[in-house]
Amino acid sequence: MNSPTSTLPANSLPMGSTAGNKSTPPKRIARRLPVQKLWPMWAIVATQAGVLVVFVALWEIAANTGFIDAFFWSKPSAIWSTMITFFSQGDAFTDIAYTFRSTILGFVLGTSVGALLGMSFWWSRNYALIMQPYIICLESIPKLALAPLIILVFGMGLSSKVAIATALTLIVSTLTAYSGVQAVDKDQEKLFYSLGASRWQVFTKLVAPSCVPWIISILRVNIGLALTGSIVGEFVSSQHGLGRTILYAGSTYEIALVWVAVIVLSALSIVMYIGVTWLEKFLRKGVVH
């Protein structure tokens, strides 16, 4: 019995093969990386606004129809009327300025002092080893739990809120700057010394510039921590501030006022975040140049 292949014509060859049993490799299909086309900015902004409008409309409808309890959740129309009253008759601008000042002061103090403290560890390994367990211990302690003690020491004024905001940002900046010190290129350091540079010159020309990108990377985190510290300080004891407004409105069940303070606080945090982002870009350009 003949095999099926024996009946094939002589000029009939399988696909992908040639005479002499030489096979040609199949052609490879060139694959392109998937490229996602970005929408124009106006489309993105319009979509974001549309999502917000839909959310607010559903919230209003749910509150009016009784699907959610308007007493606990309030509704956009009541929040809007309360916001108008808050800005026209209340202490809106005083509270915003109070929270803004304490946040910025705590941010600047915590970041600058922490960065200097972290870079100072470069001068002595013994000094760094002695201070390291204390820094780690302070980092592990929940600083917010110390807020009542800080209020008692610094009083009910602005200084206590600045102290809490500074405490939250100080240790983070210290550890970040110290990581930058440890990442300094030892070969470059030896090169500086071989060229006759002093320790101060090595610190100012090599160590400090090497730590700047590390410090810049922590700015966005620190502004959020500083704002948290200010709000917590206002929760504990304060005469002004958005945190005090939220605490007061919650204790009197003025839910609409709570939402107003939260919305204003969110807007303030976005403004400060944008400012820190601009500062970060400015500092990065200075480091590159």
Summarised one tens digit per residue, pLDDT across range 132-173 is: 888 888 888 887 788 888 888 888 888 999 999 999 999 899
Least confident of 99-108, 114-123, 192-201: 192-201
- For residues 71-100, give the mean pLDDT: 90
* The two three-digit tokens of residue 140, written as one number: 């592990």
Helix (H, G, I), strand (E, B) or coil at 23: strand
Distance CA 203, CA 267 (A): 40
Are 226 and 106 in contact by the 8 Å Cβ rule? The answer is yes
Predicted TM-score (pTM) of this structure: 0.79
What is the pLDDT at residue 106? Answer: 94
Cβ–Cβ contacts within 10 Å for residue 148, how many? 12
User: Whose CA is closest to 223, among 287, 156, 141, 165?
Assistant: 165
What is the structure's pLDDT at 174?
92
pLDDT, one tens digit per residue, over 263-276 is 999 999 999 989 98
Q: Which two tokens stand for residue 7?
A: 């009946």
Helix, coil or strand: residue 89: coil
What's the mean pLDDT in 93-103? 93
Q: Which residue has the tokens 């108008």?
A: 84
Q: Is the pLDDT of residue 6 over 80?
A: no
Confidence of residue 1 (pLDDT cuts 50, 70, 90): very low
In this predicted structure, the answer to whether residue 22 has a pLDDT above a threshold of 70 is no
Cα separation, 53 vs 50, in Å, equals 5
User: CA–CA separation, 195 vs 205, rounded Å?
Assistant: 13
Q: How many CA atoms lie within 13 A of 56 on its CB side?
A: 12
- What pLDDT band is residue 13 in, cutting at 50, 70 and 90? very low
Cα-based angle 94, 56, 93 (whole degrees, multiple of 5): 5
Q: At what angle do helices 255-288 and 92-120 cross, to 10 degrees?
A: 40
What pLDDT does 27 receive? 65
- Pick the closest to residue 242 from 84, 103, 108 (CA basis): 103
* Separation between Cα atoms, residue 192 and residue 25, nearest integer Å: 58
Helices 41-64 and 76-88 pack at an angle, to 10 degrees, of 100
pLDDT tens for 213-240 read 898 888 889 999 999 999 999 988 888 8
Alpha-carbon distance of 29 to 20, in angstroms, equals 27
pLDDT for 49 beyond 50: yes
Contact of 245 with 95, CB cutoff 8 Å:
yes
Domain 92-288, CATH:
1.10.3720.10
Inform me whether the pLDDT recorded for 24 exceeds 80: no
Judge whether residue 25 has pLDDT over 90.
no
Output the pLDDT for position 5: 47
Query: How far apart are the C-alpha atoms of 235 and 145, rounded to whole Å?
Result: 12
Above pLDDT 90, what percent of the chain? 37
Q: What is the mean pLDDT of the chain?
A: 85
> What pLDDT does residue 257 have?
92
d(CA 281, CA 93): 29
